[in-house]
Each structure stands twice: as C-alpha cells, then as structure tokens.
Amino acid sequence: MDMVKKARKVPEKILLGPGPTPVESRILRAMAEPTLGHLDRDFISLMDETRDLLRFVFQTKNDLTVAMSGTGSAGMETACVNMIERGDKVIVCAHGVFGTRMQDVAERCGAEVVQVNAPMGKPVDPEDVRKALKVHPDAKLLGIVHAETSTGVLQPLEEIASMVHGAGMFMVVDAVTSLGGMDVPVDRLGLDMVYSGSQKCLACPPGLAPVTVGPKAVEHIKGRKTKVQSWYLDLTMIMRYWGQERFYHHTAPVNMVYGLNEGLRVIAEEGLQERFVRHRKNASALWAGLEALGLELLVEPAYRLPSLTSVKMPEGVDEAAVRRRLMDEYSIEVGSGLGDLKGKIIRIGLMGSGSNRKNIVLFLSALGEILSGEGFRNDVGTALSAALKVLEKE
C-alpha cells in the first residue's frame, strides 16, 4: 500500500517542556520485552515488585498503591470519582490550570465545589483555606495541586494538611509533576489520596497514573452508598486486581508496566534523597542562568518548583517565535503559557534524566542566541558562568 511505503523515522528531540520528558534507553528496552498475559504469574510477580517500588517513591506503607491505566489526568479522575458521591460538598484549591481542572472534574462527579483560588504564579494562601474550612465544616475533602505544571509553583502542604485533618476531612493531592523529583511526604503528612503520572519526574512514557490511597480513604471508598460512577476507574475493583485476589477487571497495559517498573528501578538505584538534591541543584543552576540573561522568573524563589520553571518573555519578544526557533534550530521542546499566561511565558522542564548539566548549558546557550536574534540583548557567557557556578558547588 502506498501509505506504508515510506519508512517511519521518529526524529530525536530534546524534551525540556512540561512533559513528556526524556526516557532512558533502558526503559525503552524494557518496554520491548515479550508481552505477557495480564494474569500471567510472571507478570503478576512484576506487578508486585512495581507496587513495592511505587510505595518507595511515594514514601508510604499504603496497601492500596497501584498504577492506573491512563495518563495523569486519569489519576485525577480516579481520585474524584472514588472519593466523591453526588451531592457531596468538597473544597478544591486552584492556583493554576490543573487546580481549575480538578474543580471541573469534581463538579462533573456531582459535587458542590467550594473554590479556594490564588493568582497564577502564586501558591494558595493557608489563611484562605482556614476560612473555607470554617465556613464549610460539612465538606468531605479538600483537593489541592502540589506541583502546578501550568506555572511552576510548588505548593507547601504541611500547614494545610494539618488544618484539613483537624477538620476531619480527607486530603487529595495532585503530585503529577513532583513525584520522583522532590519530597512527596504521603505518610508523614497523612495524605489520604495522592496521584501522579508516569511521564514527568518518573521519566517514563505517558500512559500510567500511579495512585496511593490511605487506609481511612480505602474504608471510605468501600463504604460508599452508591457505585463509583466510572466502571473503568473503580478502585473497589482495581484493588482486587492489584491485590491477592487477582480479580480480572481490564487488560492492563503490560508493556507500559514493564517501563514503569524499570523507571522506578532507576530511581531506587539513584536514591530518593540524591534524586531530590539533583533536581533542586539543576533547577537552581537554570534559575541563575536565566536571571543572568536578564530574564524575570514568574515564581518567587520560596515557591519555585524544581522540576518546572516558568520564565517571562521580555517586552516585544514573541514567545511563540522563541519556542519555534528552539525547535527548528536546536530540536529543543519547551512549553507555552496556559490560561492567563498564554503568550507571556515559556515553561522549561528539568525532570528525570533530563535534569542534567548538558541540557542546562545547551538550553541557556540556545535561548540566549535566539533572544539576541529577536532583539533582546544578553550575555550568554555570563549566563553560563552563573549556572556553572551553582553546578560546581559541593
């Protein structure tokens, strides 16, 4: 057939956007291993190991820790459809696009959603949460994004978690862009349900959504008055497949689980704390280099996310042209602004194996050259010196 005469060749590109992120060759090789049946005893053994590795990365002892079939958004849907019944009141915080998405998903589950919002680029104020808890003591849960991918804001959780649990509510956390790249203290803070995605700091291809559920939340789900509205994401059945019963639910994406397993092995080999330090140090080097170019970062230092940085484009510089030239001339992908930030920022991801010295130096050099061509004067040498100074610190 004419349509298949031309050989397929996917070009290699440098993924420095908000996700997906670079995938190591050993993970891709793992995904090319022979496909097994989803109830095969050898695959079940690999599932068990994957579950243990997920517990390690989530820093939890939660029995119900699984990889849902679907991307990070499936993790969000899983949390909402399992924890919420029609008519429930829930408080959902938003400080960017993905907090707003959680509010939308909760409404689609039939919840009465109380919004606690913050401007894009700022974290949610704990005092605003305190007020919402006082006015709405009958709310069942509070949902919040730990790492807001649309802005690069890292949301502090300690104070809010203490208030939420003190009010007798569940706490649901979006850790899509933080898990595997920084501390996600599930057990230390008693977070009731946390979800993520395979394609960010876990550095695997998109397609799986790791989820961990605390024991109180498990009992809540088991005690629902109504069926979970989504059959596919119903944890009352999924837990029976990932548990000892091995109850058939759906055909798991077997080779994707191979990839996640290998990606988690990479993390375990590096060590969680070592991985967190690497992501933070490389982000700090990038920040120093960007500021030395004369650029302004969107988020103030105390709330910057190590895995994703948002930088404002200078007045008169077309951010779409900058992104296009980065791709056309250097094969570098970065993200555009979303929502209110569209056309104003670019988003740079340093996640997983992509968080390294080589990518920082290449990106700063390419960005500086392109900005000069767009009429924004800068000194790439100074920027590189600033970044390398951070990287060379012990």
CATH number at residue 113: 3.40.640.10
Domain boundary among 235, 269, 303: 269
Six-digit token string for 205: 């291809």
Six-digit token string for 129: 């949460």
Tell me if 332 sits within 8 A of 13, measured CB to CB: yes
Same domain as 298, residue 152: no
Helix 357-373 × helix 319-330 angle, to 10°: 120
User: In DSSP terms, which residues pair with 307 in a beta bridge?
Assistant: none
Domain boundary among 228, 246, 269: 269
What is the phi-psi region of residue 390: left when phi exceeds 0, alpha when psi lies from -120 to 50, beta otherwise? alpha
Residue 213: which H helix or E strand, with range? strand 208-213
Same domain as 375, residue 261: no
- Give the pLDDT means over successive 10-residue stretches in the chain (394 positions): 73 95 97 94 94 98 96 96 98 97 98 97 98 98 98 98 98 98 97 98 97 98 95 92 80 95 98 98 98 98 97 95 97 96 97 97 97 94 97 85
Cβ neighbours around 167 below 10 Å, total = 18
Same domain as 276, residue 167: no
Tell me if 143 sits within 8 A of 106, measured CB to CB: yes
| pTM, 2 dp | 0.95
How many structural domains comprise the chain?
A: 2
Instruction: Provide the pLDDT for residue 4.
Output: 64
Give SS3 for 334: coil
What are the φ and ψ backbone dihedral angles of 111, each rounded to 5 degrees?
-80, 155
Same domain as 306, residue 258: no
Domain coverage including residue 304: 272-391
Cβ neighbours around 338 below 10 Å, total = 18
In a domain, 6, yes or no: no
CA neighbor of 290 nearest in space, from 387, 375, 165: 387
Same domain as 364, residue 254: no
Distances from the Cα of 22 to the Cαs of 17, 317, 343, 359, in angstroms?
Answer: 10, 28, 25, 11
Instruction: Provide the pLDDT for residue 186.
Output: 98
Six-digit token string for 252: 């798991």
Per DSSP, the residues of 124-171 read: PPHHHHHHHHHH-TT--EEEEESEETTTTEEPP-HHHHHHHHHTT-EE
In a domain, 55, yes or no: yes
In a domain, 35, yes or no: yes
Cβ neighbours around 269 below 10 Å, total = 9
Same domain as 379, residue 337: yes
Instruction: Provide the pLDDT for residue 1.
Output: 53
Six-digit token string for 313: 């484009």
Same domain as 381, residue 311: yes
In a domain, 262, yes or no: yes
Same domain as 323, residue 264: no
In a domain, 239, yes or no: yes
In a domain, 323, yes or no: yes
Instruction: Provide the pLDDT for residue 113.
Output: 98
In a domain, 15, yes or no: no
Same domain as 178, residue 79: yes
In a domain, 4, yes or no: no
Same domain as 165, residue 79: yes
What is the phi-psi region of residue 246: left when phi exceeds 0, alpha when psi lies from -120 to 50, beta otherwise? left
Same domain as 91, residue 52: yes
Domain boundary among 242, 269, 296: 269
Buried/exposed code over 21-44 (b: 16+ C-beta within 10 A; e: otherwise):
bbbbeebeebbeeeebebeeeebb
Same domain as 335, residue 253: no
